[in-house]
Amino acid sequence: MPRPETPLVRSLTNETAYRLRRAPFTYDTIGVTGPDDGHSLGDGFHHLTRTAVIGHGAEAFHTAAADLLSWQIQLRAGLGVRSSDQVIRSGSVALLTVGVGPVTTIVAPVRVVGVDTSADRAAFTYGTLPGHPESGEERFDVSLHETGAVRFTITAVSRPQSRWARLAGPLGCGLQSWVTDRYLATLVVH
Q: How far apart are the C-alpha atoms of 58 and 51, rounded to whole Å? A: 18
**Inside any domain, residue 112:** yes
**Inside any domain, residue 41:** no
**pLDDT tens-digit readout, 89-133:** 999 999 999 876 666 678 999 999 999 999 999 999 999 999 998
Q: Is the pTM of this model over 0.95?
A: no
**Inside any domain, residue 131:** yes
**Inside any domain, residue 84:** yes
**Inside any domain, residue 164:** yes
Which residues 6+ apart lie within 8 Å of 109 measured at CB? Answer: 20, 23, 93, 94, 95, 96, 128, 129, 130, 131, 132
Closest to 139 in 3D by CA, of 22, 17, 37, 57:
37
Q: How far apart are the C-alpha atoms of 44 and 92, rounded to whole Å? A: 28
**Inside any domain, residue 4:** no
CATH number of the domain residue 124 falls in: 3.30.530.20
**Inside any domain, residue 54:** yes
The range of the structural domain enclosing residue 178 comes to 10-33+46-186
pLDDT band at 71 (very low <50, low <70, confident <90, very high): very high
Per-residue pLDDT at 152 exceeds 70: yes
> What is the share, in percent, of the chain residues with pLDDT greater than 70?
79
Residue 187 pLDDT: 82
Residue 2 pLDDT: 43
Q: Is 91 left (phi over 0), alpha (psi -120 to 50) or beta?
A: left
Question: How many structural domains is the chain composed of?
Answer: 1
Which residues 6+ apart lie within 8 Å of 118 measured at CB? Answer: none
**Inside any domain, residue 152:** yes
